[in-house]
Structure 1
Amino acid sequence: MAKFSPQVFKTSLMLEDAAVFCGSAGNKFLFSNENKLVQAWWPSSVDKIFPFFNQKSMIEAIKMKKMLPNFFKPEALRRYVPIMDMVTQKHFENGWEGKDQIVTYELTKNFTFWLACKIFVSIDEPERMKYLSGPFESIGLGILSIPIDLPGTPFRRGINAANFVRKELVAIVKQRKIDLTEGKASATQDILSHMLYFSDEDEQMEIAKSKASGELLKWEDVSKMKYSWNVACEVLRLAPPLQGAFREALTDFMYNGYSIPKGWKLYWSANSTHKNPEFFPEPQKFDPSRFDGKGPAPYTFVPFGGRPRMCPGKEYARLEILVFMHHLVTKFKWEKVIPDEQIIVNPMPSPANGLPIRLYPHNV
């Protein structure tokens, strides 16, 4: 951006000619012209890790994509809050064994996978989840890796892991269909059953004090966690999980005085606005108050993408983050073992040394 243009510049990404769109104007242009001037595009590594074997599987994938947003609407997510609360409590009990114990980022990462297993497919056996979690991590590392298919490369590990996970998920789906037919499973027990059955369709402490002993969180409790969500948004601004995404030009067009040829790959970057002092003064400063009131200007804060291709799991992620924060804040005090630990991106942001922290229970 400093060398060529803070608006748009050309480069090569994943062995393709590409134009990188920067700033909120670029985000707005790409998000607003979906399937008009641009369409979604992903590198060949994604196609090889997630292949569509035939037309039938393509049609099924399109149906699933259309259905997913319905499962992540607030009214659908309400019933998952108590489940999230129960799983989170269990996770903290299993992952933390006593005072003055050092735990790492793995606690959070494992929690996220555990919660997804429970809510999406009703898997809650620890050994089963450990069996599946490693391959899922390999898929994530392989998706945006250079597509060099040699033994030992992240790309080859991603392909092997995707084949393994696909086989496991197909087996789960087949068994669930049988269980639904025989009445051994409920259509409302998790997202998978619902999709198969209806295939066409100091705030935290105050909340804790308001709950009776053993009472689980409800949707209304999470709705009160406004400051906590501001904190989470500021984290998402500084280290967005989605670094950006690709598009492909459907036709020749002009943008900001530059000619973009048909077929060129386009890329928008979250960091080009998240760290821009024009939109976020003192961009390296941690300041949750940025999200008070109306919050950031449109198209400047895009950790979940935007417009028609915004991540459908945004509300699910918000619930998961807030329930986890509630138990962390109400149960523990903590300190970082490595105060100046760096964040590395490969391809998702994560602490360089696993974020070891020392936990102290509040009653000590």
Structure 2
Amino acid sequence: MDFYSQLFLYLSILYVSLYILFLVFRKKSSAPNLPPGKKGWPIIGESLEFVGTAKSGCPEKFINDRTAKYSPEVFRTSLLGEDMAVFCGASGNKFLFSGQKKYVTTWVPTSMKKVVIFPETMEKFNKDDPKKMRSFLPEFLKPEALQCYIPIMDSMTREHLESDWSPYKEVKVSPLTKNYTFALACRLFMNIKDPKVVSKFADPFARIAPGFTSVPINIPGTPFNKAVGGGKLIRQELLNIIRRRKQEISEGKDANARDLLTRLLTEAVDDGSVFYEMNVSNKIIGLLIASHDTTSTSITVIVNYLASLPHIYERVYKEQVEIAKSKAPGELLNWNDIQKMKYSWNVACESMRLTPPAQGAYREAITDFSFSGYTIPKGWKAFWTVYTTHKNPKYFPDPEKFDPSRFEGNGPAPFTYVPFGGGPRMCPGKEYARLEILVFIHNLVTKFKLEKVIPDEKIIYNPSPVPANGLLIRLQPLNQ
């Protein structure tokens, strides 16, 4: 090989090498600036640690460790088999709450859908379904409709306390409130009054929630497997109820029924297919889960603080007994009575700040966007969580102190107190939950004094906060 041939070869090799380096460099330089963090193990990501810290009684540890290590604004992780950006602080909450349909949309984890949605409708279950349901719910949950529920809530609460609390010196609050809120939801949403029918739902429903945030491994004995089995039983029972209700409607029975199921069946377009019935069932299941688990958890948490803090209980009692004195014997609560329960609601809010009934919610990026200098790619999932603000001293001074006065006047700064979410996607059932909680508190504190049997009873999360021993309370009946 002559000199020029060798030179050409060397120059060619050099050129190709430099070109490859250029491509690699350009690819790296053009790579998106992703949020800091790690994905964890293949497939399961950091899900085990996320669930593990919650079950140990310290769900905020997962979040706090990563905000301290990576970024107080946003960090990367992998949960439920998905790349995920966790948005932090009031700015993160505001961005997600305000960016609906512009940057993000609602996302339901596949594991959750497998539990509650009919497999046949999985492909048809799309992002418009939650939107359609939300557009219908305000009609059902607006103040004029809610006012009609208060007497029903009041009478059912009285019956519940009389039958399940009064005969005993000690009770476990957590399972009792779950039974109560579920029976009330069945009554208001589906006009089901028969305790036997309610119990058919209640037992399998107890299996569902623990499986939502578990690793989605569907083998016998796992929480996810139990949740899938519970969901199957519920769906079948709901189909039976829907078909009976359709028959009643066609025969002109219960023409003035105001429950949600009847409204759905009369106002939706029935195409005569089983998919129509399944879609109605999907919506009802979603509402039952949302109204039952978080509200019963909230009531349990509030009772925990009332029993732990006598000075708080006394102020709530004084407010509620004044309302009770203004009522005629046997007269049920009404809308005006609820509006007088300001301090009681502040106590409820402070209880939910310290022990939130839900950890947060998910979104999906519908386009590439930037937040706090980092790029969130299209298709990534986003998660906002109460644990970046509720106990942050930046937003709530002396955050571990129980102080209902935080909610007086204008209350906390926007996007810092978020047990119900915020912005356009705020939970549409917030006012329903407020009524249910306040009606229960009124009847409870005017009937009993409360004392915790286990003063330092541990709270575990599965995924909602649950007292390890069910919150065992000693009851002291008050003179009626």
TM-score normalised per structure 1: 0.94
- Structure 1: which amino acid aligns with 2:390? H
One of 66, 69, 77 as aligned partner of 1:11: 77
For residue 109 of structure 2, the aligned residue among 43, 65, 71 is 43
What amino acid is aligned across from residue 96 of structure 1 in structure 2?
W
Q: What is the CA-CA distance between 1:120 and the residue it aligns to? A: 1.1
Matches within 5 A, 1:250-265: 250-265=366-381
TM-score (normalised: structure 2): 0.72
Q: Which residues of structure 1 form unaligned runs of 5+?
A: none
Shift of 1:299: 0.5
C-alpha RMSD over aligned residues? 1.9
- Residue 149 (str. 1) matches residue 218 (str. 2): yes
Partner secondary structure for residue 5 of structure 1: coil
1:335 is matched with which residue?
451
Q: Equivalent residue for 1:183?
A: 252
Match of 1:112 in 2: 181
Is 2:244 the partner of 1:128?
no
Residue 206 of structure 1: aligned partner: 322
Shift of the 233–221 alpha-carbon distance from structure 1 to 2, 3 Å rule, reads same
- Cα gap change, 1:25/1:308 in structure 2, threshold over 3 Å: closer, same or farther? same
- Note if contact 1:72-1:313 (Cα within 8 Å) is conserved in structure 2: yes
Q: How many residues end up aligned between the 2 structures?
A: 363
Provide the rounded CA distance (Å) in 2 between the counterparts of 1:256 and 1:100: 55
**Matched residue, 2:93:** 27
Aligned 1:135-284 pairs, distance under 5 A: 135-199=204-268, 202-284=318-400
Specify the alignment match of 2:301 in structure 1. Answer: none
Among residues 132, 135, 151, which one is paired with 1:66 in the alignment? 135
Relative to structure 1, the CA distance from residue 178 to residue 56 in structure 2 (aligned partners, 3 Å threshold; closer, same or farther) is: farther
2:290 aligned partner: none
Give the drift of 1:64. Answer: 3.5
Give the 5 Å matches for 1:317-328: 317-328=433-444
In 1, Cα distance between equivalents of 2:228 and 2:172: 31
Mapped to 1, the partners of 2:230 and 2:87 lie a distance apart of 33
Moved more, 165-174 or 82-91: 165-174
The letter for the 2-side match of 1:181 is S
Q: In the alignment, what sits opposite 2:164?
A: 95
Match of 2:412 in 1: 296
Return the offset for 1:61.
6.7
- Asked if structure 2 preserves the Cα contact closer than 8 Å seen for 1:253 and 1:259, the reply is yes
**Greater helix fraction, Structure 1 or Structure 2:** 2
Distance 1:68 1:189 in 2: 13
Q: Does 1:355 align with 2:460?
A: no
| Distance apart, 1:249 and its partner CA | 1.7
Structure 1 residue 124: deviation in Å?
2.1
State whether residues 141 and 154 of structure 1, in contact with CA within 8 Å, keep that contact through their aligned partners in structure 2: yes
Cα 1:99–1:40 shift into 2, 3 Å: closer
Greater C-alpha Rg: 2
1:79-115: CA deviations, max 9, x gaps? 0000000110110111024363334321212111111
- Whole-Å separation in 1 of the counterparts to 2:240 and 2:449: 43
CA distance in 2 between counterparts of 1:347 and 1:209 reads 40
